[in-house]
Amino acid sequence: MKDYMYPSDALPVVTLALETRSLTPADFKDVVYSPTLLLSAHFDVSLTADPEYHEGCECGFDSYFTEMHHWLAGLRGYTFVDCFHTLVSVRDYLLNEIVYDPVRNPDLLAWRAGWGLGWLSALALTDRSLALMGLELLRKIVLHDESDWLV
């Protein structure tokens, strides 16, 4: 009869103490924008080939963190304050900042789509599932954009 050595007998049990702290926006505030950080949006090439789109991506990414810098008058400087989003706050942000409005958001669709993608990509560094839900709304906004109809 052949003896079998079971893995539990062969290897010592090792337990690792894993850090359970969640990453916050402050952990990424100094990350330099790169297109490799963008979520995969699969927008039409006519949109993504526009230089405005690429500039919007970078500005939206940077804006996500810039909005968390607050001026402290007494200290004459800025401090970074983490901002955590919810599905409602992401939806409200996209509807207010990305949906075309001739007064409030008159920018080209390429710019607005890039901005939204950059902003959501920065959010994804700490909350990927929330950013992906926001990306679905962004896709709908872009698909149903009416700004081109007004030309």
9 lies in a domain? no
Q: Is residue 86 part of a domain?
A: yes
Whole-structure pTM value: 0.82
Residue 4 lies in a domain: no
Query: What domain count does the chain have?
Result: 1
- Domain that residue 63 falls in: 23-150
**Using 50, 70 and 90 to split pLDDT, how confident is the model at 77?**
confident
Q: Is the pLDDT of residue 10 over 50?
A: no
Residue 139 in any domain: the answer is: yes
- Whether 81 is in a domain gets the answer yes
Amino acid at 101: D
User: How long is the chain?
Assistant: 151
Residue 109 has pLDDT above 50, yes or no: yes
Residue 119, helix vs strand vs coil: helix
Q: Is residue 148 scored above 70 in pLDDT?
A: no
What pLDDT, on the 0 to 100 scale, is given for residue 92? Answer: 97
Amino acid at 49: A
| Residue 91 belongs to a domain | yes
Helices (H) and strands (E) in the chain, counts: 6, 2
Predicted confidence (pLDDT) per residue in 11-37, tens digit: 344 444 445 678 999 999 999 999 999
* pLDDT given at position 78: 82
2 falls within a domain:
no
Of 104, 98, 142, which Cα lies nearest the Cα of 119? Answer: 98
pLDDT range class, residue 69, cuts 50, 70, 90: confident
Residue type at 8? S
Distances (CA, A) of 29 to 2, 61, 80, 83: 59, 10, 8, 12
- Domain presence at residue 11: no
